[in-house]
A and B are shown apart, each in its own frame.
Chain A
Amino acid sequence: DGGITQSPKYLFRKEGQNVTLSCEQNLNHDAMYWYRQDPGQGLRLIYYSQIVNDFQKGDIAEGYSVSREKKESFPLTVTSAQKNPTAFYLCASSMGTRRGGSYNEQFFGPGTRLTVL
Chain B
Amino acid sequence: EDQVTQSPEALRLQEGESSSLNCSYTVSGLRGLFWYRQDPGKGPEFLFTLYSAGEEKEKERLKATLTKKESFLHITAPKPEDSATYLCAVRSYNQGGKLIFGQGTELSVKP
Q: State the A residues within 8 Å of B (CB).
A: 4, 6, 31, 40-45, 48, 50, 58, 88, 90, 92, 94, 96-97, 100, 102, 104-111, 113
Contacts and interface: CB of A to CB of B under 8 A. Distances in A.
Given A42-B103, A96-B97, A108-B45, 14 more contacts: A4-B43, A42-B102, A43-B89, A45-B98, A45-B99, A88-B41, A92-B43, A94-B97, A97-B96, A104-B32, A104-B34, A106-B99, A107-B46, A110-B43
Contact of B32 (A4, A50, A58, A100): A100
B50 to A, nearest CB: 11
Nearest to B44: A108
Contacts of A113: 41
Contacts, number: 61
A102 B46 CA distance: 12
A111 B41 contact: yes
Contacts of A106: 34, 46, 99
* Interface residues on chain B, size class: 20 to 34
B87 to A, nearest CB: 7
Contacts of A105: 34, 46, 49
Contacts of B42: 110-111
Interface of B: 4, 31-32, 34, 36, 41-46, 49, 51, 87, 89, 91, 96-104
Contacts of B45: 108
Nearest to B88: A42
Nearest to A35: B101
A88 B85 CA distance: 15
A111 B39 CA distance: 12
A55 to B, nearest CB: 12
A76 to B, nearest CB: 14
Contacts of B31: 100, 104
A61 B92 CA distance: 21
A50 B97 contact: yes
